[in-house]
Structure 1
Amino acid sequence: MQTSLSEDHRIIAIGDIHGCIHTLHALIEKINPDPDDQFVFLGDFIDRGESSKEVVDYLIELSKQFRCHFILGNHELMLIEYLKTGEPGPWLLYGGRATVDSYGENGGINLPPEHMTFFAGCISHTATRHWFFTHGGLDPELTIKENLALHDPEEFCWQREHMRETYLSAGSYPWEKTLICGHTPTAEPIMLDRLIAIDTGCVYTRNPLLGKLTALILPERTIVQQQNIETNA
């Protein structure tokens, strides 16, 4: 279930899954969560990997056992747009075909009602007193308050400007809280005072520097990783 996020208990943030169900299972087992733990899944649960439907099934079941927050990724956003309009646009070119195949539809997709509810319930961001969670990121020239006032929150799904080397090297952002995000694959998690980025390219196994699913445990800032173990990887 999706309830308010609290700093009174551990928060476990998980990066881009992209249909890698076996890797996700292994990571959760490695973490061995406590009943009071809270999960924040940072979006891009689907596409590219072969098991998008199974990932969503698993996340729905997990949400019945733990407090879970599901962030809207750009791939979920493209799927939702397709479901609204019937026009795939760029979605199929950016990994959506794997999701269609996962749901067993030829040339189209028919989501179970529970999955429709799941995607409709994904949120653009969530936050606590010290942490701000979103999929892509924030405008690095604006405070969080200004980002929320001046940008459509769906833009947070696509934001990558903050990951440019000029900003990473400076390591200084005007944000009032630490941003936790995914979206931009890096060989290792980015761990700065005001930025933690944990998309380590789980689905990209052909790149020897990527191919890991990463979890961040707060407040300790502990990193837990699982190498991709999909049979098709």
Structure 2
Amino acid sequence: MRTVVIGDIHGGFRALTQLIERADLPAKTKYIFVGDYVDGWSETVEVISFLIDFSHKNECVFIRGNHDELFYKYLASGESNPMWLSQGGETSVKSYMNISRGLKEIHRRFFENLVNYHIDSENRLFVHAGFTNQAGPEYEYYPNLVYWDRTLWEMACAMDISISENDNRFPKRLKLFKEIFIGHTPVTRVGYDKPANFANVWNVDTGAAYKGSLSMLDVDTKQIWQSDPVHLLYPNEKGRN
């Protein structure tokens, strides 16, 4: 079975459907989404409805992102804070203003059932942000670090490329897994517009919340598919700019 990983969507429904159509993958494909489905562009409701329907027809793994957890708290209890609202949360709140109670409950269960990380049969880790514990994400003292941490990506970016896994200086965290696939921190911050790789870490967040594209990566072949830059699909919106 082919396995692909999809970066942070941030309410970009038009980018998501464009990406799926462009890839045109066979029925027996496993889709792993690394989280942050919400907060950015205006079509969060459409994104979640699409993903729920898509998962009925395809094998999917939905990872929890930090924005997803914040939005879940809002759906479940009305909890919100000004910082979250200013970082894209307001667009998600507006997207849900006029939907039915029944649909809102279906979506609430979607967010409730997200997983914090996924490890496949090839010992590849899929997680929204990273982890800090040298024994692995399951041992995090604060479980929510897996969708907030940036240190794993920063460490991978700063590594000397000459250091091999057999070197004592090679980070213990990275030795735990064959490969690690993350989102959370746009690769545009380090000068990339496609999924970027340092050490055995692949980052598939290509800045769809801002002026980048939404990306999909084949975890075996490393083939890449991308949508148009998402801001061009929403010319009258600002996203998280």
- TM-score bracket for the superposition, by shorter chain length: 0.7 to 0.9
- State the 1:201 CA deviation: 0.5
Cα distance in 1, alignment partners of residues 77 and 3 from structure 2: 36
- Tell me the equivalent position of 1:200: 206
Q: Report the number of matched residues.
A: 214
Q: Distance in 1 between matches of 2:79 and 2:157?
A: 37
Query: Could you give the per-residue CA deviations for residues 34-64 of structure 1, whole angstroms, max 9, x where no partner exists?
Result: 1110111110001111100000011011101
Shift of 1:137: 1.2
Ranges in structure 1 where 5+ consecutive residues have no aligned partner: 1-8, 206-210
For the aligned residue pairs, the C-alpha RMSD in angstroms reads: 2.1
Paired residues of 2:72 and 2:108 also in contact (CA < 8 A): no
Q: Please say if residues 130 and 149 of structure 2, whose CA atoms lie closer than 8 Å, have aligned partners that are also in contact.
A: yes
Q: Following the alignment from structure 1 to structure 2, what is the Cα–Cα distance between the partners of residues 99 and 28? A: 22
Deviations 1:73-119 (A, max 9, x none): 0001111222344331232122111011112359xx99622111111
* Residue 131 (structure 2) pairs with residue 138 (structure 1): yes
2:22 to 30, 40, 46: 30
**Aligned counterpart, 2:7:** 15
Aligned mates of 1:198, 1:173 — CA distance in 2: 21
- Paired residue for 2:62? 70
**2:40 is aligned with 1:39:** no
- The C-alpha deviation readout for 1:171-197, integer Å capped at 9, x for no partner, is 554222111000001123221342000
1 CA distance for matches of 2:38 and 2:136?
30
* 1:163 pairs with 2:163: no
Identity rate, percent: 29
Match of 1:231 among 184, 209, 234: 234
Task: State the alpha-carbon separation in 1 of the partners of residues 221 and 52 from structure 2.
Answer: 27
How far apart, in 2, do the equivalents of 1:173 and 1:224 lie? Answer: 30
SS in 2 for 1:64: helix
Q: Which residue of 1 aligns with 2:196?
A: 190
| Mapped contact 1:135–1:182 kept (Cα < 8 A) | yes
Residue in 2 that maps onto 1:151: 141
TM-score by length of 1: 0.84
CA distance in structure 2 between the partners assigned to 1:117 and 1:167 by the alignment:
34
3-state SS of 2:118 partner:
strand
Q: What is the rounded CA distance, in whole Å, between the counterparts of 1:147 and 1:58 in structure 2?
A: 29
